[in-house]
């Protein structure tokens, strides 16, 4: 069974600084998808970024980028120029490519932005 | 385009009752998945429907069931509620399968007393 591990329950960063959230996963599949979702307090889950395992190039979305290390099964999220609106729970998630659309989530990292 | 909508947003029930939650996916999306989020267990997959058929099911007891209608709207039902069923229930929709991304609704917060 696939597992996703986020070893940092909480992180904090000064506004305008850069922070990296860690995620590791375990799978025997070679083709899959990885996602970072953001869940602000009392608000809905929002997709931040996604990575296809077959792509070697790391995904980027504006201030958000990932460091995808397939051999190490590592998928970290870097947030540059942190803003107050980035404060949220961040969940790393895994999904197999075919046959099962279920997302397997990590336990989340609570990110606090310090003004 | 409107996002995923879930109704009701909040619900309070007592043990032994049953409850039905509703999810309307993004227009054009045919896949609907349900997740349970609790502080202790985190986010857990309940089931996924595509074109009115359940394609995948998580490890939950038979008290949890769902269905999908021809317009892709989905409902999930929990019978004989237990205190441990108190959770945020999230619905996510996806256009079809394979390469697509799931987009989440705001959730229904169920409290069982």
Q: How much is the pLDDT for B99?
A: 63
Cis peptide before A57 (omega within 30 of 0): no
Interface test with B, best of A102, A104, A106, A110 (most B CBs within 10 A): A102
Rounded average pLDDT over A33-46: 91
Task: Tell me whether residues B33 and A104 touch, CB distance under 8 A.
Answer: no
Distance from CA of A82 to the nearest CA of B (A): 24
Distance from CA of A78 to the nearest CA of B (A): 20
In tens, the pLDDT along A63-79 reads 999 999 999 999 999 99
In tens, the pLDDT along B72-110 reads 999 999 999 999 999 999 999 998 766 678 999 999 999
Q: Residue B53 burial by CB count (10 A; 0-12/13-18/19+): exposed, middle or buried? A: exposed
Contacts of B42 in chain A (CB under 8 A): 105-108
Which residue is closest to B92 within chain A, CA to CA?
A45
């Amino acid at each position: 069974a696939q597992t996703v591990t986020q070893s940092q329950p909480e992180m904090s960063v000064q506004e305008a600084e850069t922070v990296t959230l860690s995620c590791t996963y375990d799978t025997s599949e070679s083709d899959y998808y990885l996602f970072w979702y953001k869940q602000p307090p009392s608000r809905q889950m929002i997709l931040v970024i996604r990575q296809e395992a077959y792509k070697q190039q790391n995904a980027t979305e504006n201030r958000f980028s990932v460091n995808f290390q397939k051999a190490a099964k590592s998928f970290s999220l870097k947030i540059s120029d942190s803003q107050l609106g980035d404060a949220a729970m961040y969940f790393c998630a895994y999904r197999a490519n075919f046959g099962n659309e279920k997302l397997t989530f990590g336990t989340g990292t609570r990110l606090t932005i310090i003004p | 385009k409107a996002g995923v909508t879930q109704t009701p947003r909040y619900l309070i029930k007592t043990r032994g009752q049953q409850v039905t939650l509703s999810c309307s996916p993004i227009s054009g999306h045919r896949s609907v998945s349900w997740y349970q989020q609790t502080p202790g267990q985190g986010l857990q997959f309940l089931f996924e429907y595509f074109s009115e058929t359940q394609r995948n099911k998580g490890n939950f007891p038979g008290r949890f069931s769902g269905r999908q209608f021809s317009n892709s709207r989905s409902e999930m039902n929990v019978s004989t509620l237990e205190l441990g069923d108190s959770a945020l229930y999230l619905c996510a929709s996806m256009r079809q399968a394979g390469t697509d991304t799931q987009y989440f609704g705001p959730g229904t917060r169920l409290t069982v007393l």
